Chain A
Amino acid sequence: MYTAEISRQNPSCFLFVIDQSGSMSDNISGQAKPKAQAVADAINKLLSNLTIKCAKSEGVRDYYHVGVIGYGASVGVAFTGGLSGKELAPISEIANNPARIEERAKKVDDGAGGLIDQKVKFPIWFDPTANGGTPMNEAFRLANNILDNWLELHPDCFPPTVIHITDGESTDGNPEEEMQKTIGKSSSDGNLLLFNLHISSNPHAKTVEFPSNNESLPDQYSQMLFETASPLTEFMVSIAKNEYELNVSDTSKGFVLNGDLALIITALDIGTRPSNLR
């Protein structure tokens, strides 16, 4: 399980499901940053990381196809511009079609014990969006359709990874059934991997990363998102332990509650690091 080669002949897929509801304009608990901004930053950073992972001297190799579903005032594919309307796009197309490329300052070691600002390129595909309800059910129905089509065409692929970022309160009914359908999907190489990244406004919510049980989760929303998240694969546990020194176990799940951007990116990096990229 989880040993299929990821290659241009046998690509894998990533599907992001992003909450763009009105409540995402609230600040993250304890931070002066709207949730929607944190999500946009995370998704842009992740798409950039994925592109860089697949970049070779001759260009970007299509090891992955990537889709983004946004749900809020409406549910649909969230790409715009050159990627408009695409449910899944090869990573090379994503690489060549950011909405814009910004330059941001990054602190780097000046070699003399200090830090200096260095300009780095930061491609933007998504800007923060927050309006309407939270139709999580409908979003997962669409995700399941897209995943079914992908799995039909790629039955032996490394299982798709779904990364769901939300503040957790569905407004179109309990989405658990649809999400269980999602994690029940599989290729010949194993079950699909669902990561739930929960950005909660609950004042009792503390940062929880890759838990093995729901003991420290503050409400039914985070508990549902914990229950429906996939267990980390052996390789992910190894990266989380050895490279990020996170306290994880073999029963840890792909669930993060109120992680800061760095932790969200870490979670995404762990979720996008199969051992067998070719």
Chain B
Amino acid sequence: MVKAKIISSYKLPKAGNTNDECEDAYSIKNTRRSLKVFVADGATESSFAKEWANLLTADLKTIKSFSLTNIVKRLPKIRNEWKEQVSKRPLPWYAEIKLEKGAFSTIIGLRINYKKSSFNCFAIGDCCTFHLRNDEILVSFPIEDEIEFSNNPFLVSTKIDDDDKIAKHFRELKNQKIRKGDYLFVMSDALACWFISKTKTNDKPWNILIGFTEDSSNKSFEKWLKRIRDEKEIKNDDTTLLTIEIL
């Protein structure tokens, strides 16, 4: 039996954008039995992607298990909510046409089962989870090598046309055992790419991320992110990080 604690949660827009323009989203649901977290990364190329990412993370908190069927079953309801939200006001011609094209997002979900001392994870696209134990990354999911990050990951769409493709791109990780002292990191793609490359070069990037937990404001993380963006160590992109300590 384990417990878990979120020791930090950050969501920052790409440099040059306002907080309101950040199209990443995350959600957390902590109960007696489990902890669930979700991170979604709305695609810049689509409009109303922030709304779509927010709705996905908010709604999927309610599913009991991370099966493909369960997730796909929720999509029609989430799509309807999105449509309702975005059609509230009249739109200029370009926004109307863009809306027709739909909104897109990647998503990752992680569920820790306290009693079983394990976690399950699913991912569509390139948000990632990392499992750390004793200075060693046991799991890098769903991407293990930074060359797998591309500008065109598969995205969950507000349009139903792509539903048959979701199964092909759905990744699952089941019953990964955890114990006290482990850490789990859930993050959007730019930070994940940085994390994987630093892990490869033995730079132990987790030490940096765990270090941010003592500061409850966003400031130290924000300053650090700005520096590594300036030094081109990381892509300038919306960035989300959730760090979980297993107790």
Q: How far is it, in angstroms, between the C-alpha of A59 and the C-alpha of B94 when the chains are bound? A: 9
Of B44-52, B133-141, B164-172, which stretch is located at the interface?
Answer: B44-52
Residues 195-247 of B at the A interface (beta carbon under 8 Å): 236-237
Contact sample, A vs B, 6 pairs, CB 8 Å cutoff = A5-B236, A7-B16, A52-B101, A60-B94, A98-B93, A123-B93
Q: Flag whether A275 is at the interface (Cβ < 8 A).
A: yes
Q: Which residue of B lies closest to A243 (CB)?
A: B152
Q: Does A120 contact B (CB under 8 A)?
A: yes
Q: Give the B-binding residues of A (Cβ under 8 A).
A: 5, 7-9, 48, 51-53, 55-60, 95-96, 98, 101, 120-121, 123, 275-278
Minimum CB distance partner of A278 in chain B: B14
| B1 CB-CB contact with A under 8 Å | no
Whether the Cβ atoms of A52 and B94 lie closer than 8 Å is: yes
A121 pairs with B16, CB closer than 8 A? no
Listed in ascending order, the chain B residues whose CB lies under 8 Å from chain A are 14, 16-17, 21, 44-45, 47-48, 50-51, 86, 92-98, 101, 151, 236-237
Besides A55-B94, A57-B51, 19 more A-B contacts (Cβ < 8 Å) are: A7-B16, A51-B94, A52-B94, A55-B95, A55-B97, A56-B47, A57-B86, A57-B95, A59-B95, A95-B92, A95-B94, A120-B97, A121-B97, A123-B93, A276-B151, A277-B44, A278-B44, A278-B236, A278-B237
- Provide the residues of chain B in CB contact with A123, threshold 8 Å: 93
A43 vs B48: C-alpha distance in the bound complex, in angstroms? 27
Number of A-B contacts (CB under 8 A): 48
Q: How far is the CA of A85 from the CA of B106 in the complex (A)?
A: 43
In Å, the complex CA distance between A57 and B47 comes to 5
Contacts of A121 in B (CB 8 A): 93, 96-97
Specify which chain B residues have a CB less than 8 angstroms from the CB of A98 in the assembled complex. Answer: 93
| Contact call A57/B236, Cβ cutoff below 8 A | no
Least CB distance from A221 to B in Å reads 36
The smallest beta-carbon distance between B190 and chain A, in angstroms, is 11
Please give, as numbers and ranges, the residues of chain B lying within 8 Å of A96 by CB-CB distance. 92
Dominant SS among interface residues on chain A: mixed
Taken together as a complex, chains A and B put the C-alpha atoms of A52 and B98 apart, in Å, by: 6
| Distance, CA A7 to CA B237, complexed state (A) | 12
Instruction: Say yes or no: B92 contacts A9, CB within 8 Å.
Output: no
In the complex, which residues of chain B have a beta carbon less than 8 angstroms from the beta carbon of A55? 47, 94-95, 97-98
Among A55, A98, A101, the most chain B Cβ lie within 10 Å of the Cβ of A55
Chain A residue at smallest Cβ distance from B232? A3
Q: Are B94 and A57 in contact, with the CB atoms below 8 A?
A: no
Closest partner residue, chain B, to A239 (CB atom): B152
Residue of chain B at shortest CB distance from A109? B161
CA distance A250 to B101 in the complex (A): 31
Residues of A within 8 A of B92 (CB): 95-96
Residues in chain A near residue B94, CB distance under 8 A = 48, 51-52, 55, 60, 95
A48 to B92, CA, bound (A): 12
In angstroms, Cα B17 to Cα A37, docked, is 40
- Given known pairs A55-B98, A60-B94, A275-B151, the reply for A8 and B16 (CB within 8 Å) is yes
CA distance A277 to B47 in the complex (A): 13
Shortest 9 CB-CB contacts between residues of A and residues of B: A55-B98, A55-B94, A121-B93, A51-B94, A275-B151, A9-B16, A57-B48, A52-B98, A56-B47
C-alpha spacing A101/B92, complex, angstroms: 11
Closest Cβ neighbor of B51 among chain A residues: A57
CB distance from A118 to the nearest CB of B (A): 10
**Hey, which chain A residues are within 8 Å of B151, CB to CB?**
275-276
**Chain A nearest CB: distance from B222 CB in Å?**
18
List B contacts of A48 (CB < 8 A): 94, 97
Contacts of B97 in A (CB 8 A): 48, 52, 55, 120-121
Kindly state the separation between the CA atoms of A53 and B45 in the bound complex, as whole angstroms.
7
> Which of A51, A123, A277 is most buried by chain B, counting CB atoms within 10 A of its CB?
A51
CA distance A96 to B237 in the complex (A): 28
- In the assembled complex, the Cα of A160 lies from the Cα of B95 at a distance in Å of 25
Q: How far is the CA of A9 from the CA of B17 in the complex (A)?
A: 10
CA distance A47 to B226 in the complex (A): 35
A278 pairs with B16, CB closer than 8 A: yes
Q: How far is the CA of A57 from the CA of B93 in the complex (A)?
A: 12
Q: What is the CA–CA distance of A5 and B17 in the complex, to the nearest angstrom? A: 13
- Distance of A60 Cα from B97 Cα, bound (Å): 13
In Å, the complex CA distance between A277 and B236 comes to 11
Specify which chain A residues have a CB less than 8 angstroms from the CB of B93 in the assembled complex: 98, 101, 121, 123
Scoring A8, A123, A276, A278 by chain B CB atoms within 10 A of each residue's CB, the highest score goes to: A278
- Write the chain B residue with the least CB distance to A60: B94
The residues of A that contact B21 with a CB separation of less than 8 Å are: 56, 58
With a CB–CB cut-off of 8 A, which chain B residues contact A7? Answer: 16
